[in-house]
Amino acid sequence: MTTGFDTQEQPTITTMAHLTVHVFGNLTIRRGPVMLHGHQLGGPKPRQIFEILLVNLGLPVSKDRLIELLWGASAPVEALPTLESYVSVLRRHLQPGEGKFGPLQTRTGGYVLDRNLVDTDLDQFDVLLQRAQKTIPGLAYPLLLRALDLATAPLLGDELVPAWAAEARDLHAARLTSARILASETAAALHRIDDALEFANLALADEPLNERAWTALILGLETSGRHAEGLQAYDRCRHAMQNELGCSPGSILRAAQLRLLHATADGDGDLADVLSALLMLHDQLRVSPASGPASRPATTSMRPELVADSLREATDVVTSFLRRVVARA
């Protein structure tokens, strides 16, 4: 390791502290046999410096940026020497006797945590997710389960106020939702449908407007033969997107809805009869008015708004019927 100092004054790599840090939930640090907690790092500001460097593991953070994150617009006049004194306090707790040669290192104009000397559960989560994204379902699934097991507690649970902590949580939350969706899709590919539905519902609890999560849920219900539930899920998705985004589900979900309708119409009972009639109506109405009278009888030349109204009414009939059927089930 090159530091710019006389190598005879440096501890050998074998004597350097190696830290294992948990940032999900309450902050804990293990240094060999020693266990430290967030309140044992010399105060709130040293702890926050450490946490900022943890969520940027291996990347230098400038002193100016640290001052901005720690104090915002109310930074004291002596912010720079104060910051440097906090870092000195933090080093005494994290790497006693090692000074600048431990995991917390100085870089030009800033500080960095050496990735080779610090392991964090957040970094493990990210590495496992990246590996899962690049491999086949059979190998990806256990990686995703390990990643999700690491992230059961909230990120930086000790920090409730700082804006930088909220931003770090938001970034992690997006990755966590992606991991849950990928776990759902991977479980479905492995025919673990119950797991696929569970992960899809967890992802939707995080992001109710995530179309990829809705797709995982609805396709999982379709695969499991739960057609009525799949249609209900599609209806919830459609309403959420229309109300919040002013748009409709994409082509993949619309195709899934049509398959679910046909699958249900092929069955027995009152619901099949209702759906068969509505699908026949849909086939009659979906002919585009732009095709011109030469392509169809004049009696089917309906204005687009009337077609849309008819289809909306048909969907409402189906939805109402499905709710009654599921309520009785």
Q: Look at residue 314 in the predicted model and tell me its pLDDT.
A: 61
The pLDDT tens digits for 259-269 are 888 887 665 55
pLDDT at 2 over 50: no
Mean pLDDT of 207-211: 96
Cβ atoms < 10 Å from Cβ of 47 = 21
pLDDT at 1 over 80: no
Residue 36: beta bridge partners? Answer: 29
Which residues does 219 contact at the CB level (< 8 Å), separation at least 6?
Answer: 188, 256
Entry field: residues in the chain: 329
Band of residue 97 on the pLDDT scale cut at 50, 70, 90: confident
**Crossing angle of the two packed helices 63-71 and 79-94, in degrees rounded to 10:** 100
DSSP state of 9: G
Mean pLDDT of 102-112: 93
The pLDDT tens digits for 118-165 are 999 999 999 999 999 999 999 999 999 999 999 999 999 888 888 999
Band of residue 98 on the pLDDT scale cut at 50, 70, 90: confident
The pLDDT tens digits for 10-61 are 444 445 679 999 999 999 999 999 999 999 999 999 999 999 999 999 999 9
Question: Which amino acid type is present at position 315?
Answer: T
Cα gap 19→100, rounded to integer Å: 15
Q: Look at residue 315 in the predicted model and tell me its pLDDT.
A: 65
* Cα 136 to the center of its chain, rounded Å: 20
Mean pLDDT of 235-250: 92
183 and 197 Cβ atoms separated by less than 8 Å: no
Residue 155: beta bridge partners? Answer: 24
Q: Look at residue 161 in the predicted model and tell me its pLDDT.
A: 80
